Every structure is written in C-alpha cells, then in structure tokens.
Structure 1
Amino acid sequence: MATYTAFLSHARIAAGSLAAVAERCKMLLDSDPGATPIIYDDSTGRPVDIDYRGTVHDVLARLPGSDPVTKRGPGRPKLGVVAREVTLLPRHWEWLASQPGGASVALRRLVEVASRDGAPADRVRQAREAVDRVMLALAGDLPGYEEASRAFHRLEAERFEALTQEWPEDVRDYVRALASRAVGEG
C-alpha cells in the first residue's frame, strides 16, 4: 500500500494513506488558509499535487485514483491496455512483425522480462532517488545537508546519522527512515 507524509515547513503533520493525509491537510488549511502543507509520496519522494478547493469530500473525490470513470481510448480497455506511440527503426518493426502474436505481444513480453529482471536494481535506484528528492526539499537549507547527502550515497551510515542529528526532529526521522529503506533495498 502506498504511503504519504505531509510537512508544514519542518514539521510532520500527517502520515498514512493519501486520503488520510489529504484530509488532515485540508483541515489544517481550513483553520489556517495561509498554511502551505506539502504531501510527499514516500515511495518516490515526489510532492503530490492536491486541489484543496471545496469541502473535505470534494478534495477526497478529486484525489488521484478516486475517479472510477476513465476515458477509454484505443487498445483493450477491459484488460487495461492503452495505445501509445512507439518509435522504432524499420528493422525493429520487421523483427517485431515476425514474432508470434505480432508486435504488441512481442513488446509486452519484452517489457515483462525486462521489468522482472531489472526490478531489484530499479527498486534500489527509486528508493535512493526518493531520499535525494525529500532530503533536498526538506533539508536542502539545513546545516550539513551536502555532506549528509554524500555520506548517504557513500553508504557511510554513522556519518549520515551524525550529520543529520541536529536537523529538526521530524525531518531527521523521515529522511533517516527513507534512507534506511533505500539501503535495505540494496
């Protein structure tokens, strides 16, 4: 299950499902319209854009993935297949056309094999990128940020812990938790 964490400056204000975190942020904004909470996707470190207009119900109804009605395009919609453009050289198209089931079946098979074989390395890369994004966003202006970032990438756990020790508690604990997950993936 995807998890999210919201911060207001250096203070963690909520963590959990996107709905729970967005609801908490909406309540905060209702009581303090000048607040600027930011929700981070814990798996990617990317901020999540939320439209806070209207009621809590309105906000929750607009969350990504909450709209069951999606526009259907070409492909096999019942299977979730979506048509997109792929650009290849003529020799690639010739090879794909000669494969059993045609180009689409061959491409899906190649993608499945590549995603399965590359999954462990992809998870490590994505977890490290999440740490980078969050650490820059929340701690980029804090003392020791650059050295902490270097220590993280060099896998110098003790140095990383020491360099982040004086950071605001919520930032420090969140970055350390993401970092320990990223190192645990590797």
Structure 2
Amino acid sequence: MTHPITCTAFDGTRCLASGALTDVAMAVKAAADRDANASILIFDDQTSRVIELDLRGSASDVLARLEAHEASDTPRPEPANDAASASRGRGRPKLGVVAREVTLLPRHWEWLNAQSGGASVVLRKLVDAARAASEGKDRARQAQEAAYRFMTAMAGDQAGYEEATRALFASDAARFDAMTATWPADVSDHARKLAKRSFDIDVSASV
C-alpha cells in the first residue's frame, strides 16, 4: 500500500506551504503565478528529495497531471501464475512469494538444505531476523540522510553548517540546535524537525 506524499515548499528561505502534495502544489502554483522569478523548492517530507512540478497551464491542469502521475505510479497486482495456483490447492492463501536467483557456495547450500523447512524457509527467517536487528539503525540513518539532504540544499552557505552536520551524525541534539540557531527561522525549524526524527530513534533497542 502506498502512502500519500506530504511535502514542504520553500520560497527562498520562507516556508511557503506544508502538507499533502496536491495542497502544496496549489500554493506553489499561486506563488509562481504572482512572481515568475520566485525561487521555490519542494521537499518530500520523508526523504527531503526535491519534487519537480509541471506548473504550466491552470491550477486544474496542474492537479490533473499530478493525479495522472500518481495513478501511473500505483503498483498493480501481478497476475497469478496458473501452475503455482493449482499446486497450492484450494483454500491455501497466496503468500506473494517471488522467485529470484540466489548465488551461494556449495557449503552454504548444504547447510541450508539440512535445516528444517529447507533453504527457502531458512533464508526468509534469516532475512527477517537481520531486518529486525538493524531496523533502528536503518531508520536513524534514513532520517539523518533526509535532514542532511535538506540542510545541504537550503543551508549549505549558512554559518555553522559543517558543525551542524557533524552534530547530526553524532546524534548531538543540543549542539545541532546551537549551530542552527542563527539560520533563517523557517529553515532552522524544518532542519530541526527532520533531525529530531533521528535523535528520537533508540538504535540500541534493535541491537
């Protein structure tokens, strides 16, 4: 299931709008119509990647293109394989298993095949265990990268940028707040909000 995109738009260093992509797009369209030279950037709230919008035409045109793009990005269920469906038998649920090539050394295959349930079951358990063990670290890293991406785009020339970056990756919230205190208010607020996501994650819980 895909989740609606939320984002934040900046006109220069001023936060122009924040929320659902369609709402932000309308605010950006209105601002661009008022000032064709406006310097507007739209950031995905989860990743801080810049979102490009086609603002040509009317507001309805912009919305129509957005809706068409979102519809084209919606994943479609893959058709069931008839042979696989037949082999499962009536009443057995489809697990969504995807067959792909895995390359291992002979000793690895020997060990896997000797385990209860066979190689596929053991590999799935190993992957699930590895995901659970690294979940906190992965989430913290993704949050740090999102904050860093935004900071680089919006505050790379601000005083304290390098120290703020070091504080971000060192999970030093107090130092981060101190180094971003002199930045334009909206930029500082958004950077702190993004950084807080990484500061709040307890990576030790998944070790």
TM-score, with length taken from structure 2? 0.68
What are the superposed Cα offsets for residues 82-103 of structure 1, whole Å, 9 maximum, x if unpaired?
A: 9686562464678778884875
Q: Check whether the contact 2:54–2:62 (CA below 8 A) recurs between aligned residues.
A: no
Gaps of 5+ in 2: 85-93, 203-207
What are the superposed Cα offsets for residues 91-127 of structure 1, whole Å, 9 maximum, x if unpaired?
A: 4678778884875x66555444433332222111111
Q: Check whether the contact 2:160–2:179 (CA below 8 A) recurs between aligned residues.
A: yes
Aligned positions of 1:3-14 closer than 5 A? 3-14=6-17
The 2-side partners of 1:37 and 1:84 are apart by: 44
What are the superposed Cα offsets for residues 53-74 of structure 1, whole Å, 9 maximum, x if unpaired?
A: 4413223214446755759589
Is 1:131 aligned to residue 138 of structure 2?
A: no
Q: Check whether the contact 2:109–2:119 (CA below 8 A) recurs between aligned residues.
A: no
Give 3-state SS (helix, strand or coil) of 2:174's partner.
helix
Between 1:146-155 and 1:46-55, the stretch displaced more is 46-55
Q: What is the CA-CA distance between 1:173 and the residue it aligns to?
A: 0.6
The 2-side partners of 1:65 and 1:82 are apart by: 25
Give 3-state SS (helix, strand or coil) of 1:141's partner.
coil
Task: Provide the aligned length of Structure 1 versus Structure 2.
Answer: 183
1:18 partner letter:
L
Does the C-alpha gap of structure 1 residues 154 and 26 become closer, same or farther in structure 2, counting only changes over 3 Å? same
| Aligned with 1:157 (options 173, 179, 199) | 173
Q: What is the CA-CA distance between 1:14 and the residue it aligns to?
A: 1.0
Does the C-alpha gap of structure 1 residues 155 and 122 become closer, same or farther in structure 2, counting only changes over 3 Å? closer
Give 3-state SS (helix, strand or coil) of 2:200's partner.
helix
Does the C-alpha gap of structure 1 residues 165 and 68 become closer, same or farther in structure 2, counting only changes over 3 Å? closer
Between 1:116-125 and 1:133-142, the stretch displaced more is 116-125
Is 1:39 aligned to residue 42 of structure 2?
A: yes
Does the C-alpha gap of structure 1 residues 102 and 156 become closer, same or farther in structure 2, counting only changes over 3 Å? closer
Is 1:120 aligned to residue 136 of structure 2?
A: yes
The 1-side partners of 2:99 and 2:12 are apart by: 40
Aligned positions of 1:91-130 closer than 5 A? 91=106, 100=117, 103=120, 108-130=124-146
Aligned to 2:87: none
The 1-side partners of 2:64 and 2:196 are apart by: 36
Percentage identity across paired residues of the two chains: 40
Q: Pairwise CA RMSD of aligned residues?
A: 3.4
The 2-side partners of 1:120 and 1:19 are apart by: 31
Q: What is the CA-CA distance between 1:28 and the residue it aligns to?
A: 2.3
Q: Check whether the contact 1:23–1:60 (CA below 8 A) recurs between aligned residues.
A: no
Q: What is the CA-CA distance between 1:26 and the residue it aligns to?
A: 2.5
The 2-side partners of 1:51 and 1:83 are apart by: 36
TM-score, with length taken from structure 1? 0.75
